[in-house]
């Protein structure tokens, strides 16, 4: 592991990377490959892995096929299943990190408290819980879904039983035979509930809005397939390309032709009819908005779990939580031992935005609160020189693999760093005009999408009603936009002659 700062003076580095999940590790590996040696990765957790370290709830798994949900430069022929469970993804990240040789530059258990741009020094001054750094560039890969959001429910703090958020699962609590409530029916909850149903005494599931949940095409890879992938990497690449093309072919239904989603809706209604006999329960789980407006979820176990005798789906709004029960608006009190909160994350901006202060003394969060999240190509931000935000505004996906987006952004970062070296640049900062044009383009592309027209409330939309979260198109278009560092859209300053250029 990298050395921590031991004196009061900042440690000088060329690049400081925030976060050691898929994004931060990809940045470290690719910067190293490009010949950059002077970097540090600071990670607030005690292990690498990001979201795949934090989310250990029962049933945690990825809903993007394993062969696509992995780095293009570190294919894994040994994936056991079409969709990987969390422990397998975490093990993959650990292995890639260890093999890449970047681990000695990862400082664990170190949170960024404040990163402030120092215009005179042309450096980011970064205070962490373990000392300070002065860095030429900051690559923020701290994740958008990292800060759990507890619901603002009257009396929730007075609950005397065990209570925990899906992303902070308390494995010390034995749920066997207990009375448990789960609040939320999003991507996390639909994986948790079928697992809990098997062991608890009684389960109350509190649903505010139903989701469209398509069947999960689950299958295990045979030894024969794994051997083929290991011996013939081209076969694995072809298989990966096939998965990629299949997922990308669905993008137009989200972005341009939302009526196509009726096909998905028909499929889901079929699954509901098959799994649930009670017409009242069927009606409760059937959404009234266009599929895709909220994230389409996948599960074969959700509807059957809800139909079990030890499960109640409660759609009456929660009015309060008492010391030992959840009370709904109709006055019904349902006593419980354990409360699981699967209510998602603070999402309209990456939480790290509160800790990054730009050229004019305002934090990224303050700037974005004023007019909504915006960045040039989802990656660089006017007023924040030499900052690269991975998984920034309009980069998330509802239809394909985020790893593809992360790799596209990191290529762009590496191209930017190469251009800075080649051209002797101290700073690069997108012009206000370039960023405004890009943001306008995103808004226009969003207009016909299912996220804007589908008739639902979702965390994709900000307080102004704009979808500043998702990429409105196919991912190869995103990659194409970021394929070269377009310095002509940037304000740049040259290094002063006194400034050494580290080799």
Q: Which residues would be at the binding site for ligand N01 (CB under 6 A)?
A: 61-63, 145, 151, 153, 166, 183-189, 206, 208-209, 295, 318, 342-344, 459
Instruction: Provide, rounded to whole angstroms, the least separation between the CB of residue 79 and ligand N01.
Output: 15
340 pairs with which residues across the strands?
A: 164, 182
Residue number with the shortest CB distance to ligand N01?
Answer: 186
Nearest residue (CB) to ligand N01, 153 versus 387: 153
Nearest residue (CB) to ligand N01, 185 versus 389: 185
Nearest residue (CB) to ligand N01, 189 versus 306: 189
Q: Distance between CA 394 and CA 397 in Å, rounded? A: 9
Could you tell me how many residues make up the chain?
A: 503
**Angle, CA 475 vertex, CA 474 and CA 476 arms, to 5°:** 95
Nearest residue (CB) to ligand N01, 104 versus 288: 288
Helix (H) or strand (E) holding 493: strand 490-494
Instruction: Provide, rounded to whole angstroms, the least separation between the CB of residue 82 and ligand N01.
Output: 13
Nearest residue (CB) to ligand N01, 76 versus 343: 343
Q: Distance between CA 365 and CA 384 in Å, rounded? A: 12
In the three-class reduction of DSSP (H, G, I as helix; E, B as strand; rest coil), residue 39 is classed as strand
SS (H, E, C) 348-416: CCCHHHHHEECCCCCEHHHHHHHHCCCCECCCEECCECCEEECCCCCCECCCCCHHHHHHHHHHHHHHH
- Beta-strand pair 112-118/106-107: unpaired
Instruction: Provide, rounded to whole angstroms, the least separation between the CB of residue 456 and ligand N01.
Output: 8
Residue from 97, 141, 123, 108 nearest 11 by CA: 123
Residue from 476, 452, 443, 279 nearest 371 by CA: 443
- Phi, psi (rounded to 5 degrees) for 67: -65, -15
Instruction: Provide, rounded to whole angstroms, the least separation between the CB of residue 84 and ligand N01.
Output: 10
Q: Is residue 329 a contact partner of residue 317, using CB atoms and an 8 Å limit?
A: yes
Nearest residue (CB) to ligand N01, 62 versus 367: 62
Largest CA distance in the chain: 77
Question: How many Å separate Cα 82 from the centre of its chain?
Answer: 20
Instruction: Provide, rounded to whole angstroms, the least separation between the CB of residue 261 and ligand N01.
Output: 17
Nearest residue (CB) to ligand N01, 48 versus 183: 183
Instruction: Provide, rounded to whole angstroms, the least separation between the CB of residue 48 and ligand N01.
Output: 19
Instruction: Provide, rounded to whole angstroms, the least separation between the CB of residue 22 and ligand N01.
Output: 12
- Beta-strand pair 213-214/297-298: parallel
In the three-class reduction of DSSP (H, G, I as helix; E, B as strand; rest coil), residue 30 is classed as helix
Nearest residue (CB) to ligand N01, 81 versus 125: 81
Instruction: Provide, rounded to whole angstroms, the least separation between the CB of residue 272 and ligand N01.
Output: 17
């Amino acid at each position: 592991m990298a050395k921590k700062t031991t004196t009061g003076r900042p440690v000088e580095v060329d690049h400081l990377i925030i976060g050691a999940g898929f994004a931060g590790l990809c940045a470290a590996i690719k910067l190293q490959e490009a010949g950059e040696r002077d970097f540090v990765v600071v990670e607030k957790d005690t292990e690498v892995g990001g979201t795949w370290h934090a989310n250990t709830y029962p049933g945690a798994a990825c809903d993007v096929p394993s062969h696509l949900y992995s780095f293009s430069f570190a294919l894994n022929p040994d994936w056991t299943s079409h969709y990987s469970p969390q422990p397998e993804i975490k093990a993959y990240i650990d292995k890639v990190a260890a093999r890449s040789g970047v681990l000695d530059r990862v400082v664990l258990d170190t949170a960024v408290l404040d990163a402030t741009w120092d215009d005179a020094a042309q450096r980011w001054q970064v205070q962490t819980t373990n000392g300070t750094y002065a860095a030429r560039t900051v690559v923020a890969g701290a994740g958008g879904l990292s800060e759990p959001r507890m619901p603002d429910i009257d009396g929730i703090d007075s609950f005397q039983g065990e209570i925990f958020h899906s992303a902070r699962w308390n494995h010390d609590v034995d749920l066997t035979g207990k009375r448990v409530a789960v609040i939320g029916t999003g991507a996390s909850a639909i994986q948790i509930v079928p697992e809990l149903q098997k062991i608890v005494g009684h389960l109350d599931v509190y649903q505010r809005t139903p989701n469209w949940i398509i069947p999960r095409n689950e299958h295990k890879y045979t030894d024969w397939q794994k051997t083929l992938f290991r011996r013939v990497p081209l076969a694995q690449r072809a298989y990966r390309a096939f998965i990629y093309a299949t997922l990308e072919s669905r993008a137009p239904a989200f972005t341009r032709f939302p009526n196509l989603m009726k096909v998905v809706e028909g499929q889901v209604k079929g699954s509901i009819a098959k799994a649930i006999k009670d017409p009242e329960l069927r009606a409760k789980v059937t959404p009234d908005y266009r599929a895709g407006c909220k994230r389409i979820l996948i599960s074969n176990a959700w509807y059957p779990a809800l139909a079990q005798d030890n499960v109640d789906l409660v759609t009456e709004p929660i009015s309060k939580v008492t010391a030992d029960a959840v009370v709904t608006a109709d006055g019904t009190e349902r006593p419980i031992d354990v409360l699981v909160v699967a209510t998602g994350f603070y999402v309209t901006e990456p939480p790290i935005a509160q800790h990054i202060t730009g050229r004019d003394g305002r934090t990224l969060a303050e700037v974005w609160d004023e007019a909504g999240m915006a960045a040039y190509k989802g990656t660089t931000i006017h007023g924040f020189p030499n900052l690269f935000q991975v998984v920034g505004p309009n980069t998330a996906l509802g239809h394909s693999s985020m790893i593809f987006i992360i790799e596209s952004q990191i290529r762009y970062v590496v191209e930017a760093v190469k251009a800075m070296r080649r051209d002797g640049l101290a700073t690069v900062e997108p012009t206000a005009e370039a960023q405004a044009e890009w943001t306008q383009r995103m808004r226009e592309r969003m207009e016909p999408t299912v996220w804007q027209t589908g008739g639902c409330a979702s965390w994709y939309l900000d307080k102004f009603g704009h979808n500043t979260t998702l990429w409105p198109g196919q991912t190869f278009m995103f990659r194409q936009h970021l394929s070269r560092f377009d310095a002509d859209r940037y304000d740049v300053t040259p290094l002063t002659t006194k400034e050494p250029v580290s080799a």
